Amino acid sequence: MYHTDLSRSGGASNGIDLAALNWGNFDLVVIDESRNFRNGSNTSTDEKENRYTKLMNRVIRSGVRTKVLMLSSTPVNNRFVDLKNQLALAYEGDAGKINEKLNTSSPIDEIFRQA
């Protein structure tokens, strides 16, 4: 699948009918060029979902428990928050899920604020 398929409600991608696809049925998502998902959910002033929010809500948070593997040679494309938004995909946007795994005195949001 292609990241642009998240923005489509019909048609086919690699022979797969997008209208019939259960996006929440994937237990592993591999994202090549994860910098394409650097813009978080609060980047748009209109109410239309962007690719990031669709990936988070329809694939990662819904259905089966999903692991996320991100590949990128440019994780920080414009701002350091680009990396924060990509990392949030791995912990479903719930900072508590990564804070309990980090061996730091500060929560992840504070680490990014200071950076």
pLDDT in tens, 32-53: 888 888 777 654 455 677 888 8
**Biggest distance spanned by C-alpha atoms of the chain:** 49
Structure tokens at 5: 């398929």
Q: Which domain holds residue 53?
A: 3-114
Tokens of 37: 């998902």
Cβ-defined contacts of 94-103 (< 8 Å, 24+)? none
What is the count of structural domains for the chain? 1
Chain centroid, CA 101 distance in Å: 19
Q: Model confidence over 9-23: pLDDT tens digits?
A: 889 999 999 999 888
